Structure 1
């Protein structure tokens, strides 16, 4: 049975030697891609390691050995492992709980791989240890499996607001990836998890990458931080809706142990008690659609009950059978097997018992209103569905969210007259697209497109397109509206009224920005 790495604080000298070996081998994302090629890289993404194994069979370098051992989970020759871990030595690797020996072969006990990222502070790279996945073990996941950096992790890390703060709480830290990202913006980070194994791996990762200032605490949800408040809460919690039935595996990294979507409801409620005034929580989550209730509005209702401002985005919705299939496969059970059909039946029975018709996936940004801050006197409540999933292309969204929040607060405290007096500017990533019927001089459709952020598309009329196009930060909005009204022979007051409401939305979308 695999064991977690040894306690990192006691093993810091050994971890430093491991770091030296990883650096010496050039154990990086670009080097691995060059080692086995784009085709093998794509196959690994699909869960097929054969092309990578074939490529590595022709390489005997330390990089190839470390890739075979820790990324693919393949046994390697003892002498090759000794060469790749020359500073740490095999004895040191055993003491850290990284490998075990079987005769002249060495097998990994953990997954260890490089990880690259890009945020507002620039590009960075770390090494992340987690449990070996089913691709390496050939078995279903253990209930206490500690997940590495997956799609959800990448989504949340890309969404994190990059504004400097004093304190951050990472709720359900797992392998520690969100806490490590938060450490780039915060003076102090508290990372909690119900899994002692996860905390051991998270501590190991922090030490391996030279990251300080993270306080790791064992416990469920907010229990380890009772009575404390934070400037920011981030969480990719165990939100997966799992039947509470005999024979259904429960995985610590994804199952919160509660019925339906009650776990996310509790996380939202607890955020109100653990955020300072003006503090922000950023979460991923699921919410159930029921026969008589819209799921997205249910999620918004949780925030309303907690007294929190909310910006909630649904990026995908699945029907009950799709949802069940997704998470049964995630646990390593394949379609067509008797276990798969049994588990699918358990999921559908569970959904039927609550009248669930679908499950939404999405992102919640919650803010504790600060009555002392003028910009927060009006409640922020935005609930929306995206046309396409966020996926992995979320790099830079944190900066966009920060800009959009600032613009939303800016416009919220300005009257219509003040907004008309303001000088606005079109965001640099906004373009205009015009569609014409053949032979027609005037466009039939005008669309403003956002190149960054959430890549929104907003259909506009001729008047608004002209007004937005003239917003260059030099002229007041009211001056532009008057000029366009006169040009198109429209009533100025009418155009002002319609423009103000539309401009407020464009500011919140990040398509227009307050002028300097």
Structure 2
């Protein structure tokens, strides 16, 4: 066995899992840890066991007696952990190593993820070559990931490797790139630790390491943070700063990813885009316009320049004070100079058509709570779009539709009124959309149980409402198409 296989055996033997840690220190301490406070979790560790020692060292980032670390890793041993660069000979942690768990259509998965020690463990601002572990953005992207099987996938800017690991669940081969040698080192360690052998790691900037190659799926959580350029003593973190002005790195990926996709291939990435004289989403639309790609872009959040600067200065571990103020002023100066008034954040899905030109260009804002299985949901929406493109209104009227199982109808009445004043359809999963209903549309949707065709339902509803069937059908087919496209039907 290799040293990493020995480590995996020891972690498994200690039951070093998400559930075990949750039971070890309880929900309240776990919540405090999520907020960046480890004292409650530390106080919850009542005894020295292999699990508690591993939790103390690798999750809380605190030293433990060398003998305890040796006992917690009986196969690898303290000496083996030192050789791997996990701890010092005195039991001081050198990396963050923690369990990660999720459920997908293939089952329950438990992994261990290696990254650099964070601000809490270091007690200082993080260094510029810091390799970030699994955070909110990486969880978001992995949840959005379409999991249809492909021969080759690309993780552009792999960081700790979490997206590459997810992609390896549905791709025969994954290429993971990064400009950071440290990131590639830790990502390769993570892959080997979890027994994943189908990932190849390559160092280089953006698409340079895969020039001339093609992929069925590309995922990227790129270093999209907008950072002032050309200033002295301005931290530039490998994991978030792409080295371009403003939102240039997201623009570059959008404009250049087409050449890296096979026909039918899909690219999914997170990104920021700037607001100024024009609309931020319209800015993304301009990036896409001169490509041959289908595009579905969703903006999830928009921040003022003040909120944006505060978020990312604090993200680097800089506490309020003179240095924070210096960086804050630099950020605001940069935005003011370039006429930026706000920053949007969201998800970009791009697809190279199998044949012909693009048929899907959708740019929207959604701030509703996210449901589960978003990757599956996005794949279904793309398939729905393709079907809608293949049928005209006459063929659509001959189709049978069913209401999706997560969809409910909500009605609001004025007190004492017999008829509702507002009717909505609501999704319980996916993007948790809400769609307004008129009387005719509500009646048609209510009858969509897969038994009658759309045309037959429209005829029956027209007769019930005593209106012209042709006019009613023409009225409801466009919103019915939208309900199919967005997953209500």
What does residue 89 of structure 1 align with? 77
Preserved CA contact (<8 Å) 1:143 1:249: yes
**2:386 counterpart of 1:401:** no
Offset at 1:436?
0.7
Residue among 326, 333, 336 paired with 1:352: 336
Aligned residues: 488
What does residue 9 of structure 1 align with? none
What does residue 7 of structure 1 align with? none
**2:364 counterpart of 1:384:** yes
Preserved CA contact (<8 Å) 1:315 1:389: no
Offset at 1:306?
2.1
Distance 1:455 1:72 in 2: 35
Q: Deviations over 1:291-348 (max 9, x none)?
A: x21111111211112221100000000000000000000000122x001111010001
Matched residue SS, 2:92: strand
What does residue 59 of structure 2 align with? 71
Matched residue SS, 1:63: helix
What does residue 174 of structure 1 align with? 159
Distance 2:458 2:427 in 1: 22
Distance 1:283 1:453 in 2: 18
What does residue 242 of structure 1 align with? 227
Residue among 453, 459, 472 paired with 1:482: 459
Q: Deviations over 1:372-424 (max 9, x none)?
A: 6xxxx66101110013364xx5x400011111111111011110000001111
Preserved CA contact (<8 Å) 2:294 2:358: no
Matched residue SS, 1:148: coil
Q: Deviations over 1:356-386 (max 9, x none)?
A: 01000000000112226xxxx6610111001
What does residue 22 of structure 1 align with? 11
Distance 2:270 2:409 in 1: 32
Distance 1:378 1:34 in 2: 50
Matched residue SS, 1:297: helix
Q: List aligned pairs for 1:44-443, cutoff 5 A.
A: 44-56=33-45, 58-102=46-90, 106-244=91-229, 245-290=231-276, 292-335=277-320, 337-371=321-355, 379-388=359-368, 390=370, 395-443=372-420
Matched residue SS, 2:297: strand
Shift in alpha-carbon separation, 1:118–1:283, aligned structure 2, 3 A: same
Q: Which consecutive segments of 4 or more residues in structure 1 shift more than 4 A?
A: none
- RMSD of equivalent CA atoms: 1.1
Preserved CA contact (<8 Å) 1:316 1:388: no
Distance 1:241 1:457 in 2: 32
Distance 1:147 1:378 in 2: 36
Distance 1:328 1:495 in 2: 56
Preserved CA contact (<8 Å) 1:378 1:412: no
Distance 2:17 2:61 in 1: 17
Matched residue SS, 1:87: coil
Matched residue SS, 2:200: strand
Distance 1:31 1:474 in 2: 49
5+ unaligned residues in a row in structure 1: which ranges? Answer: 1-11
Distance 2:89 2:197 in 1: 32
Matched residue SS, 1:364: strand
Distance 1:389 1:169 in 2: 29
Distance 1:487 1:314 in 2: 41
Distance 2:390 2:153 in 1: 28
Offset at 1:101?
2.5
What does residue 454 of structure 1 align with? 431
Matched residue SS, 1:93: helix
Matched residue SS, 2:44: helix
Distance 1:84 1:249 in 2: 37
Preserved CA contact (<8 Å) 2:293 2:358: no
What's the TM-score once normalised by structure 2's chain length?
Answer: 0.98
Distance 2:323 2:62 in 1: 27
Q: Deviations over 1:74-105 (max 9, x none)?
A: 11011111110111011101110111023xxx
Distance 2:55 2:148 in 1: 36
Distance 1:259 1:329 in 2: 21
Distance 2:160 2:6 in 1: 21
Distance 1:479 1:388 in 2: 34
**2:469 counterpart of 1:492:** yes
What's the TM-score once normalised by structure 1's chain length?
Answer: 0.93
What does residue 6 of structure 1 align with? none
Distance 1:338 1:131 in 2: 27
What does residue 40 of structure 1 align with? 29
